[in-house]
Structure 1
Amino acid sequence: MKKEKIFFWTSTITIFMFEGVMPALTSQSEMAKEGIRHLGYPEYFGNALVVFKILGVLALVIPQVPKTLKEWAYAGFVFDFLFAAISHYAVDGLGVQTFFPFVVLAVLMVSYYYFHKLDAAKEKTA
């Protein structure tokens, strides 16, 4: 189970950094605000998105959070990454910005896979 924990925590902390820490620290910068405007979204949407991202990553990294809430957080991030890719494609066409959300989505899927693997092992020992 040690390997599974390493994969889970490495991928989950990566998501925590990309989707929690970075947005929390940079969301009020002019560059972030311009990025939201560039995609055609109002500024309040970016603010709401940051709040939900922070709540989502907290749900993923706090072990005491119920499994159902973690599932909702994972689902929310899947929608976030898919719609980010769609938005970038619609505005800018194919490019790095269009594909980068899929890279982060792959990291999220590693976290999700090992979350269930560890949960199943925990249920066997209980």
Structure 2
Amino acid sequence: MKTKTIKIIYWVSTALVSLMMTFSAYSYLTNETIKQAFHHLGFPDYFRVELAIAKILGAVLLLLPIKGQWKEWAYAGFAFTFVSAFIAHTASGDPINNRVGPVVFLIVLLLSYFSYHKAKVESN
């Protein structure tokens, strides 16, 4: 695959994940329905705020051109978030449409992760 195509795949998938995480973080902090959903899932209120802050930081880390392990930590944190969301919704007996979103975004995250590493290898 061409380097240009890989970079396009990386930026589109990374932008999608970052936008979704930023939007969900905003919703966590401002939407009363989301607050009730966290209670439905059995999470304390402080976890909602903590997760919103982590999502904003992770989205920024994915978009910034930084070196080192920070991006890896953001990818890992988002992967844990998506897997945990799927498990929480499944354990709470939520309908399938509540479980599909985290799986879809995990796939988009993996696309971002692998295209990021592929572009890194090809640019060296």
- TM-score normalised by the chain length of structure 2: 0.92
Amino acid of the residue matched to residue 7 of structure 2?
K
Per-residue deviation, 1:2: 1.2
Aligned equivalent of 2:13, options 11, 19, 34: 11
Matched with 1:111 is 112
Q: Deviations over 1:60-90 (max 9, x none)?
A: 0001x22311011101111000000000000
1:7-86 counterparts in 2 under 5 A? 7-20=9-22, 22-27=23-28, 28-63=30-65, 65-86=66-87
SS of 2:92 mapped into structure 1: helix
Q: Deviations over 1:14-46 (max 9, x none)?
A: 0011112x1233222101111111101011100
For 2:41 and 2:98, how far apart are their aligned partners in 1?
Answer: 11
Matched with 1:90 is 91
For 1:32 and 1:59, how far apart are their aligned partners in 2?
Answer: 25
- TM-score normalised by the chain length of structure 1: 0.90
Amino acid of the residue matched to residue 8 of structure 1?
Y
Task: Check if 1:2 corresponds to 2:9.
Answer: no
Amino acid of the residue matched to residue 5 of structure 2?
K
* Number of aligned positions between the proteins: 121
What RMSD over aligned residues (CA atoms) do the two structures have, in Å? 1.2
Matched with 1:121 is 122
SS of 2:69 mapped into structure 1: helix
SS of 1:66 mapped into structure 2: coil
Structure 1: give runs of 5+ residues left out of the alignment: none
For 2:93 and 2:14, how far apart are their aligned partners in 1?
Answer: 29
In 1, are the aligned partners of 2:26 and 2:52 still within 8 Å (CA)?
no
